[in-house]
Chain A
């Protein structure tokens, strides 16, 4: 008979949790998205929980695209309130959102993130230009006006000024927002600078830009689908490796990594803010306006995030590696006014 009572107790417990689940309203802000924005969002969430009467928001990671997809699932308590993104929302995503009923979206730019190239601290020093990266990693390069497959083995083959170290690059995989920035700001620029773009254009006007972005597949460039910690582990295992990192990750691991200059500029929050260092991108979060007033503290959180004390040049986010937005005052005004996309 013991067993019977056990079964009935279990059934009761399940029923009780199911009923109370419907009754309880959510009082916590839910955020998901880019793993680049995650550290900043977690710092703000922690401070928000400590400084206000609202509970600490929860921040999930998973990547910009995954976060925006979740964001566009619809309106309601069991959908997320904020999506973090390391790239602007795409037209197709806005459309998908609208179809699911998510019509008013507030776009908030929190600052800029630098992308750096770093190698083992005991290895050679590097001073790159975008053209070096293009010539090292492109599937096909232009030699004496002819398009030939890339056979460069060492960095010295690419540019005689660089050390004769075998080319081994760990670049972000295609699911990362960082990959797009790498392609756009480094490879595409290098393609243009080295003159390859003009040669490609002569052969095929439309496909030239795409051809620039085709990378070698003979093992010298490795896509990393994991996080920066994986890239770091790869470099520790292969001392010739050069990895692509976020500035804040590099600044936390300066005992293991040294950073390369691009066009002679050392990456830092200063050189990125001034625009001297070329490889950077804006970071955003998107707020579901329909949830403001429903989920307690949502508007307050958005304003808290971009306040001078947090996102300003001397705030904790800048301390952690975020390049603060020179137009922060405008962002603050837009958030306070509740300005939405396209309005």
Chain B
């Protein structure tokens, strides 16, 4: 302020240390004004630089996610015609590990395929099979179990290529990189190149990545995020159906009915503090209360949902109270004035007007919960878990499952670089969900929010 008064030109009574001015015209800037303008300009440029730095981080992040993750949505398939010989299938079904016994069928078919394509190789059949997924036998067996009528016929399969062959088509694996690799040789890639020319090896969009279940460490090419997505869905159901009613009821009571005294003040401070508690704390609480004390099943989306409900509640209460506060008192006064009871005024008038704000807060809170990994670590939802589709709604809540962020974390830890690629792909799917939820929140706010 002293700056401004000192600078006002030709002010009467201007005496002490004001700088000597060369001119009194407003069109000619004096030194101090120039200095002030320059500092304003500097500040604006700092701001722009800050925005640009933020933007460049965002661009770098999006670029990294998209360039690393987009390849996860495609997969290489090898077309092999396999004669489903009855005697061989019966022999395979009689062994302990039936799926590996089916490899005999695949080996023979693969040899034939190469011979038909005019490719000669001195590799042993078992070595040659390394270019296919180790889940190939399972793929064939599942087809046989589903279509017993096909036994005795020759069926054409699109078999998953091994992760390293897939990586070769995606540019991740090179011949030099395979020098010390015991899982694949450069010779395999020569065969792949020739089959590519024939058009029987093909890379295309892979729905199983989005809809499928997790796969073990030996077959990264078959891993999908679908089952974990279902786990996340059931967890979000629990969060929605618990945290919305509890949160709204708590905030209506605190905002509209509760007397203002030390006790309610204490509750208010505690809710604000709870919102800042690290999520891992809720995880350990969930382990102690829901699993060890209440004996709920481990790794179940129900428990995950309960833990995330605890985490989301403060967020919902705070945003609901803000929405209730934003409804002007005149609405309440008018309702009470025409004889409505306190409860009628709240439920008929205040709550509907606050609903858009409450919904926005709930969706933001749930989006936060959807991306949470830390509490799930402690209640057993990270690992090789998302391998079975839940059969039915009850199983959806209670049978062990993972969640999308937990699945991504698990993939990022695994040894094969192909899982790392899957992790980036999973991030893209998770981001799509978060984006969709945020857009719904924005639309609700834009469309229904009323301002006074």
Contact = CB atoms under 8 A, between A and B. Distances in A.
Interface of A: 1, 3-4, 6-7, 9-11, 13-14, 17, 20-21, 24, 26, 28, 30, 32, 35, 38-39, 41-43, 45-47, 49-51, 55-56, 58-62, 73, 76-78, 80, 227-229, 248-249, 251-255, 258, 304, 307, 309-310, 316, 319-320
12 contacts: A3-B347, A7-B249, A10-B242, A24-B398, A32-B380, A35-B413, A42-B383, A46-B384, A47-B97, A59-B384, A62-B382, A252-B416
Interface centre among B248, B297, B298, B416 (most CB of A within 10 A): B298
A30 B383 CA distance: 11
Given A7-B249, A13-B241, A304 B383 contact: no
Contact of A255 (B99, B134, B177, B347): B177
A80 B380 CA distance: 10
Contact of B415 (A20, A41, A73, A228): A228
B245 interface: yes
B341 interface: no
Given A6-B245, A10-B241, A254-B180, A309 B216 contact: no
A35 B347 CA distance: 53
Interface stretch (B195-203, B271-279, B288-296, B312-320): B288-296
Top 3 nearest A-B pairs (CB, nearest first) are: A255-B177, A42-B384, A39-B217
A80 B298 CA distance: 8
B412 interface: yes
A251 B183 contact: yes
A46 B215 CA distance: 7
B399 interface: yes
A262 B252 CA distance: 69
Contacts of A319: 134, 218
B217 A43 contact: yes
Interface string B373-403: 0000100101111011000001101111000
A237 B309 CA distance: 39
Contact of A51 (B99, B244, B388): B99
B181 to A, nearest CB: 5
Contacts, number: 162
B244 A10 contact: yes
Contacts of B417: 252-253
- Chain A contact residues: helix, strand, loop or mixed: helix
Nearest to B241: A10
A77 B297 contact: yes
B302 A21 contact: yes
Given A3-B347, A14-B241, A59-B385, A51 B98 contact: yes
A316 B385 contact: no
A271 B173 CA distance: 28
Contact of B383 (A13, A32, A55): A32
Interface string B201-220: 00000000000000111110
A248 B217 CA distance: 11
Given A4-B347, A21-B297, 4 more contacts: A45-B387, A50-B98, A50-B141, A80-B298
Nearest to B220: A252
Contacts of B297: 21, 26, 77-78
A56 B245 contact: no
Contacts of B183: 251-252
A49 B387 contact: yes
B414 interface: yes
A30 B400 contact: yes
Given A55-B388, A307-B97, A39 B216 contact: yes
A229 to B, nearest CB: 6
Interface string B398-441: 11100000000010111111001000000000000000000000
A229 B295 contact: no
Contacts of A42: 216-217, 383-384
A200 to B, nearest CB: 38
Contacts of B385: 58-60
B81 interface: no
Nearest to A226: B413
Given A39-B216, A46-B216, A61-B410, A309 B100 contact: yes
B178 interface: yes
Contacts of A26: 297
A254 B179 contact: yes
A39 B415 contact: yes
A77 B412 CA distance: 31
A62 B91 CA distance: 40
Contacts of B238: 17
B97 A38 contact: no
Given A21-B296, A255-B181, A11 B245 contact: yes
Contact of B400 (A28, A254, A307): A28
Nearest to A49: B387
Contact of A249 (B383, B388, B415): B415
B182 interface: yes
A45 B398 contact: no
Interface centre among B97, B178, B299, B413 (most CB of A within 10 A): B97
A316 B134 contact: yes
Given A24-B394, A41-B384, A50 B99 contact: yes
A50 B145 CA distance: 11
Given A252-B417, A307-B96, A316-B218, A7 B245 contact: yes
B180 to A, nearest CB: 4
